Amino acid sequence: MSTTQVYRHLKLNQKANENRITILENEQRRNNLVIGGVRVGQNMSIKQAVLDMFRDVLGLQIMPTLVAARMLGPPNAQNRPILVTLLGKDDKDTIIKHTSALRSTNIWINQDFTWEIREKRRILLSVRGAIKRKYPEKNVRVSFDKLIVDNEKFWWDPVLGLVHRQGSGVEKIKALLNMDVADDIERMVQRNIERSNADSGQEEQRAEEQEAGGGGDDEEVQEA
């Protein structure tokens, strides 16, 4: 085997291992949600603040079971988001179905994606936005790490860019919609580069907090 072949083989193995790690990380986060804009009173637990929001803002009649609730970000920061771990997927799906009630509020709820998935979704959401601006009636959505235009699926690869099963995603969108999304992608890639250091730092801090037990900002919710 030549040196070039060995190098390619090692790169393929590295990529496969990275994909396995990403899958495992997302599996660990599958029952998590990140919630922002919720005020936690001085004498109120994080859990109670979240449950009050579920009842008063989302209008939930049956409260989901929280396994854990903890603040993210630096301890002295304002408006820190809350990482919530739910008992199961049904609880998570119920909350997501009611998020339309947040439109007139400053509260937001996001899924707890890994850094890699968030990077991909930012670019795909940018492409979706460009398409919707030109074709508001077009059925375009982002599902996990895929952009779906009608029934055609696209995904983002850090090396290849926007990809479709037939090859270049940019060229496929040109053929489908007669529009060029290359500039929108380039702008979002540059924004992602600017964000990457900050996001990576937050991930490292979060990992350190989890390893150390999270200090006073962790709140494990025990079932009765």
Going from N- to C-terminal start, the domains of the chain cover 29-112, 115-196
154 exposed, middle or buried (CB, 10 Å; 0-12, 13-18, 19+)? buried
pLDDT at 184: 86
Q: Which two tokens stand for residue 160?
A: 């290849």
| Nearest alpha carbon to residue 188 among 219, 223, 154, 158 | 158
Q: Tell me the fold of 29-112.
A: Alpha-Beta Plaits (3.30.70)
Helices (H), the chain: 3-28, 46-56, 89-97, 115-134, 169-177, 182-212
pLDDT in tens, the chain (224 residues): 677 766 666 666 665 666 566 566 666 788 999 999 999 988 899 999 999 999 999 999 999 999 999 998 888 777 899 999 999 989 999 999 999 999 999 999 998 988 888 889 989 999 999 999 999 999 999 988 999 999 999 999 988 999 999 999 999 999 999 999 988 888 888 877 776 655 555 555 555 554 444 433 444 333 33
- Return the SS3 of 70: strand
208 exposed, middle or buried (CB, 10 Å; 0-12, 13-18, 19+)? exposed
Q: Let me know: does 118 contact 199? Beta carbons within 8 Å.
A: yes
- Read off the pTM: 0.60
pLDDT at 191: 79
Task: Give the whole-angstrom CA distance, residue 95 versus residue 90.
Answer: 9
Residue 25 neighbours by CB under 8 Å, 6+ apart: 114
pLDDT at 43: 87
